[in-house]
């Protein structure tokens, strides 16, 4: 079987979980003797593959990141243009004897639809997030919704990263549930290190990821346990506002904003943190939770996050429930038996979340259309 | 002759309120916010409607219909009777009526369905057994002769203590761990005392308790005549069928046909001339000791492991257990009855059961019985309350 997979990011070029997913998925598919040509925009970093049936094809150049918003100042004016340009380029460049096309999220959906017609082969669409998630369900942008809806309608099969996302696809986009399969994400386990008294947030600093709730919970925790260190890792449009917020809350000396971290730094911070929190307002899956758990870090996730429906050995809260979030952070720090047990059970459960399993389930979907 | 000894465990715990770290030390005087009154009342009334009331009525009818040949035994916890008193006192009356038939025996246990038998000193265990003894005497004017510890937890030390307290028999699990090649269908005796031991036939008991409505079990559907035939073919003096009373109408819903099954069971069993029913006291009076059992490490009837790992299987459970155990002396020294009573309600084994992290199969059972989203939530809540209690006695 030969697949044309149309992506946007691939490690080491990485803006979010999409890169992590494409990396794990393509490598495990290759191990299962699927031939993959992975198309992506040319970047400054050199992307490569060590598997002979997985070929990375970098085409053109573009300055749009998958999580950019059209309202971003620098992009204003040529945002839509850049997206169209990349999609046109893909349609032009993708040629060959493929059995099917596999696209991820909105950025390459237009190209996927046109390639389906051009090559006369089935289209598989993976949905890692929708416009509703990225906007935190506040003023979702109709332009994205329209693209997403068209792609979902034209796709032969859809892979959703959670039942939560499947419901959004059915309810907000009106798609037939029978053509949607749920495949939960996976992780390459990081392994643990000696813990420091750090409570970690790691992710894009956007409304969707709920960093403000993290700071407000931090305030509550510090009233109770004043020696706790909080780290906000990552960058995004809310960074300046969050720094102000930390000052307002009087906790600026207890919160470190690291900015964007390298991959090694990310691994390190996961490993030495005592608690990881993912207070997302809307989270289709949340691979970072699996990464933290695999680094032996007890994790608190938003109840509605996709990972919460799939993973047992983590703590779950409503993202807006600051008191409960603080209760759980303090309990994890204060009660060693809790920290030990959830770490141990979590690291055991994480072994079930392999990319091999993701590849197997994805192949099942492929077989259903070819 | 082979006797069927049918015995039901009747219990409800006082489930806890949401209690966060911020609630610790908030209220100096009261413990009333430890327990979730609303949830507890709701659950009790629901289970009473689905199980206690209709099953008591059915059993009474069956005893009358079979002119006392259908005989059963109950172990009813003190916390359960407190629920009845507070919410539906007529449930107590229906148990009294059952007892009056003479076909019903009552079994002793700890008032609070606790793990006090696993403490270093057995004084608290003894106190709780005496409380239960007093309760049964007050309600039924009766003194049980047979003892059943919480979830059938048993070891040599417990057997010795129970004998010292004047009981003639004890109930525990008929597990291969202690029986090896031997059959559970006889009376045994504890190795270090003369206490007679009744062993639960877990295969036949679980056919009803767990598997009754399981469609991928090859015994499905289980009918009264089929079940009676299995028993007719079983060797031994005594078949001990011990199960949760809530099996009827709660664990197994009415729709599964469980009541229909129970209704026909006595008749189907009594069709076989070599089968009859006995209560637990009659069982130990009638049959001779067939062998000894030696149990240095505690066993129980819970989960697949049949040990105490259900309550003490992880660090969180052990931490809570130790907290409770270690504040015992201080609590008792205060002489404050309200405080002592609260501490005892917190000893009910269910609180630790909710904190179990055991694997898939048992875990599924655990989450069915738990009102928490996860064992971790169970731990945080329980431990926060224990910390609050601790602060109150400093």
Instruction: Provide φ and ψ at B314, rounded to 5°.
Output: -135, 170
pLDDT in tens, B195-254: 999 999 999 999 999 999 999 999 999 999 999 999 999 999 999 999 999 999 999 999
The 3 state secondary structure assigned to chain B is CEEEEEEEEECCCCCECCCCHHHCCCCCCCCHHHECHHHHHHHHHHHHHHHHHHHHHHHHHHHHHCCCCCCEEEEECHHHHHHHHHHCCHHHHHHHHHHHCCCEEEEECCCCCECHHHCCCCHHHHHHHHHHHHHHHHHHCCCCCEEECHHHCECHHHHHHHHHCCCCEEEEECCHHHHCCCCCCCEEEECCCCCEEEEECHHHHHHHHCCCCCCCCCCCCCCHHHHHHHHHCCCCCEEEEEEEHHHECCCECHHHCHHHHHHHHHHHHHCCCCEEECCHHHHHHHCCEEEEECCCCCECCCCCCCECHHHHCCHHHHHHHHHHHHCHHHHHHHCCHHHHHHHHHCCECHHHHCCCCCCHHHHHHHHHHCCCCCHHHHHHHHHHHHHHHHHHHC
The 3 state secondary structure assigned to A87-140 is HHHHHHHCCCCCCEEEEECHHHHHHHHHHHHHHCCCEEEEECCCHHHHCCCCCC
Mean pLDDT, chain A, rounded, equals 92
Identify all chain B residues contacting A337, using CB atoms and an 8 Å cutoff. Answer: 314-316, 318-319, 379
Cβ-Cβ contacts under 8 Å between A and B: the total is 56
- Closest-CA residue in chain A for B382? A331
Residue A249 Cα distances to A32, A111, A216, A243, angstroms: 52, 47, 8, 10
Both tokens assigned to B79: 């916390």
| DSSP 8-state secondary structure symbol assigned to residue A190 | -
Q: Of the candidates B21, B319, B384, which has its C-beta nearest A337's C-beta?
A: B319
Between chains, do B380 and A313 touch, taking CB under 8 Å as contact?
no
More confident residue, A45 or B23: B23
- Closest-CA residue in chain B for A324? B20
Give contacts of B 285-324 with A, CB under 8 A.
314-316, 318-319
Q: Of the candidates B21, B22, B357, which has its C-beta nearest A341's C-beta?
A: B357
pLDDT score of A63: 57
Which residues touch B127 (CB under 8 Å, ≥6 apart)? Answer: none
Between chains, do B22 and A342 touch, taking CB under 8 Å as contact?
no
Identify all chain B residues contacting A217, using CB atoms and an 8 Å cutoff. Answer: none
Mean predicted confidence (pLDDT) in B350-378: 80
Identify all chain A residues contacting B21, using CB atoms and an 8 Å cutoff. Answer: 224, 326-327, 330-331, 334
pLDDT score of A13: 77
- Closest-CA residue in chain B for A331? B380
Identify all chain B residues contacting A347, using CB atoms and an 8 Å cutoff. Answer: none
Identify all chain A residues contacting B319, using CB atoms and an 8 Å cutoff. Answer: 335, 337
Residue A196 Cα distances to A185, A199, A246, A301, A315, angstroms: 28, 9, 21, 20, 20
% pLDDT > 90, chain B: 91
Q: Is it the case that residue B108 has pLDDT exceeding 90?
A: yes
Which residues touch A210 (CB under 8 Å, ≥6 apart)? Answer: A279, A280, A281, A302, A319
Both tokens assigned to B335: 């002489």
pLDDT score of B30: 77
Extract the residue ranges of chain A whose pLDDT is less than 50.
none
Identify all chain B residues contacting A335, using CB atoms and an 8 Å cutoff. Answer: 316, 319, 379-380, 383
Distance CA A16, CA A18 (A): 5
Q: Of the candidates A220, A328, A340, which has its C-beta nearest B380's C-beta?
A: A328
Asked if residue B20 lies in contact with residue B387, where contact means CB atoms within 8 angstroms, the answer is no
Distance CA A261, CA A206 (A): 16
Nearest CA-CA distance, residue B265 and chain A, Å = 41
Instruction: List domains and CATH numbers for chain A.
Output: 2-186+354-369 (3.40.50.2000), 198-352 (3.40.50.2000)
Annotated catalytic residue B282: no
Both tokens assigned to B270: 């009594």
Between chains, do B21 and A324 touch, taking CB under 8 Å as contact?
no
Q: Which residues pair with B104 in a beta bridge?
A: B72
pLDDT in tens, A108-129: 899 999 999 999 999 999 999 9
Global pTM? 0.91
Interface test with A, best of B374, B380, B388 (most A CBs within 10 A): B380
Q: Is it the case that residue B308 has pLDDT exceeding 90?
A: yes
Angle between helices B123-140 and B90-100 (to 10 degrees): 80
pLDDT score of A65: 59
Mean pLDDT, chain B, rounded, equals 95
Distance CA A181, CA B226 (A): 43
pLDDT score of B304: 84
End-to-end CA distance of chain A: 9
Please give the CATH topology (third level) of the domain spanning B2-293.
7-stranded beta/alpha barrel (3.20.110)
Residues of A with CB under 8 A from a CB of B: 220, 224, 312-313, 315-316, 323-324, 326-328, 330-331, 334-338, 340-342, 345
Catalytic: which of B124, B151, B246, B268? B151
3-state secondary structure of A312: coil
Q: Where are the domains of chain B?
A: 2-293, 309-391
pLDDT score of A86: 84
Between chains, do B316 and A331 touch, taking CB under 8 Å as contact?
no
Between chains, do B21 and A331 touch, taking CB under 8 Å as contact?
yes
Distance CA B276, CA B43 (A): 36
Both tokens assigned to A211: 């960093």
Identify all chain A residues contacting B26, using CB atoms and an 8 Å cutoff. Answer: none
Give contacts of B 4-63 with A, CB under 8 A.
20-22
pLDDT band at residue B360, thresholds of 50, 70 and 90? very low
Identify all chain A residues contacting B376, using CB atoms and an 8 Å cutoff. Answer: 313, 315, 338, 341-342
pLDDT in tens, A38-49: 998 877 777 888
Both tokens assigned to B242: 């011990």
Nearest CA-CA distance, residue A313 and chain B, Å = 8
Between chains, do B22 and A326 touch, taking CB under 8 Å as contact?
yes
B389-B392-B394 Cα angle (round to 5): 115
3-state secondary structure of A283: coil
Between chains, do B22 and A327 touch, taking CB under 8 Å as contact?
yes
């Amino acid at each position: 079987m030969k697949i044309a997979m149309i992506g946007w990011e691939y490690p080491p070029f990485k803006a979010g979980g999409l890169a992590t997913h494409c990396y794990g998925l393509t490598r495990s598919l290759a191990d299962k003797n699927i031939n993959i040509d992975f198309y992506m925009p040319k970047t400054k970093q050199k992307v490569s593959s060590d598997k002979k049936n997985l070929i990375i094809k970098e085409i053109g150049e573009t300055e749009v990141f998958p999580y950019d918003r059209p309202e971003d100042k620098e992009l204003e004016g040529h945002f839509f243009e850049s997206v169209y340009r990349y999609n046109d380029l893909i349609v032009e460049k993708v040629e060959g004897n493929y059995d099917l096309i596999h696209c991820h999220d909105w950025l390459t959906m237009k190209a996927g639809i046109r390639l389906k017609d051009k090559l006369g082969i089935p289209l598989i669409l993976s949905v890692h997030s929708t416009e509703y998630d990225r906007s935190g369900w506040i003023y979702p942008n109709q332009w994205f919704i329209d693209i997403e809806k068209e792609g979902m309608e034209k796709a032969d099969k859809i892979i959703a990263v959670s039942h939560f996302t499947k419901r959004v696809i059915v309810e907000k986009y009106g798609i037939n549930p029978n053509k949607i399969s749920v495949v939960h994400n996976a992780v390459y386990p990081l392994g643990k290190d000696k813990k420091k008294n750090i409570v970690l947030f790691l992710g894009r600093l956007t409304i969707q990821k709920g960093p403000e709730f993290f700071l407000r919970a931090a305030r509550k925790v510090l009233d109770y346990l004043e020696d706790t260190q909080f780290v906000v890792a990552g960058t995004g449009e809310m960074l300046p506002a969050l720094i102000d917020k930390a000052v307002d809350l009087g906790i600026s000396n207890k919160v470190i904003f690291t900015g964007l971290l390298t991959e090694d730094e990310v691994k390190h911070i996961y490993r030495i943190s005592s608690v990881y929190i993912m207070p997302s307002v809307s989270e289709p899956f949340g691979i970072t939770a699996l990464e933290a758990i695999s680094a032996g870090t007890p994790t608190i996730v938003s109840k509605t996050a996709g990972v919460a429906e799939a993973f047992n050995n983590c703590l779950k809260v409503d993202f807006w429930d600051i008191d409960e979030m603080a209760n759980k952070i303090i309990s994890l720090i204060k009660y060693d038996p809790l920290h030990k047990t959830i770490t141990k059970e979590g690291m055991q459960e994480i072994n079930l979340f392999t990319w091999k399993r993701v590849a197997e389930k994805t192949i099942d979907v492929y077989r259903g259309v070819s | 002759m082979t006797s069927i000894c049918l015995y039901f465990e009747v219990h409800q715990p006082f489930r806890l309120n949401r209690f966060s770290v911020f609630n610790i030390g908030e209220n100096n005087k009261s413990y009333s916010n430890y327990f979730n009154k609303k949830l507890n009342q709701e659950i009790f009334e629901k289970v009473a409607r689905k199980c206690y009331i209709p099953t008591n009525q059915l059993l009474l009818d069956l005893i009358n219909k079979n002119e006392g040949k259908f005989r059963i035994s109950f172990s009813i916890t003190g916390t359960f009777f407190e629920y009845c008193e507070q919410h539906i006192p007529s449930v107590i009356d229906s148990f009294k009526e059952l007892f009056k038939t003479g076909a019903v025996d009552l079994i002793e246990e700890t008032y609070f369905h606790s793990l006090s038998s696993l403490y270093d000193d057995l004084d608290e265990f003894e106190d709780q057994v005496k409380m239960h003894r007093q309760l049964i005497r007050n309600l039924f004017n009766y003194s049980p002769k047979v003892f059943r510890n919480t979830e059938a937890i048993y070891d040599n030390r417990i057997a010795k203590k129970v004998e010292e307290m004047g009981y003639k028999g004890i109930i525990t699990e008929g597990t291969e761990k202690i029986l090896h090649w031997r059959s559970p269908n006889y009376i045994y005796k504890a190795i270090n005392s003369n206490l007679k031991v009744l062993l639960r036939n877990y295969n036949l008991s679980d056919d009803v308790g767990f598997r009754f409505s399981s469609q991928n079990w090859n015994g499905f559907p289980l009918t009264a005549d089929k079940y009676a035939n299995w028993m007719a073919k079983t060797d031994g003096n005594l078949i001990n069928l011990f199960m949760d009373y809530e099996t009827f109408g709660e664990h197994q819903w009415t729709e599964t046909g469980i009541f229909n099954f129970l209704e026909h069971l006595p008749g189907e069993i009594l069709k076989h001339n070599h089968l009859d029913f006995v209560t637990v006291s009659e069982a130990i009076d009638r049959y001779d000791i067939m062998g000894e059992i030696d149990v240095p490490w505690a066993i129980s009837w819970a989960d697949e492991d049949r040990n105490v790992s259900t309550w003490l299987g992880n660090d969180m459970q052990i931490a809570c257990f130790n907290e409770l155990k270690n504040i015992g002396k201080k609590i008792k020294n205060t002489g404050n009855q309200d405080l002592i009573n609260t501490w005892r309600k917190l000893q009910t084994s269910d609180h630790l059961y909710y904190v179990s992290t055991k694997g898939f199969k048992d875990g599924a059972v655990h989450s069915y019985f738990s009102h928490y989203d996860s064992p971790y939530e169970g731990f945080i809540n329980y431990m926060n309350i224990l910390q609050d209690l601790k602060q109150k006695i400093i």
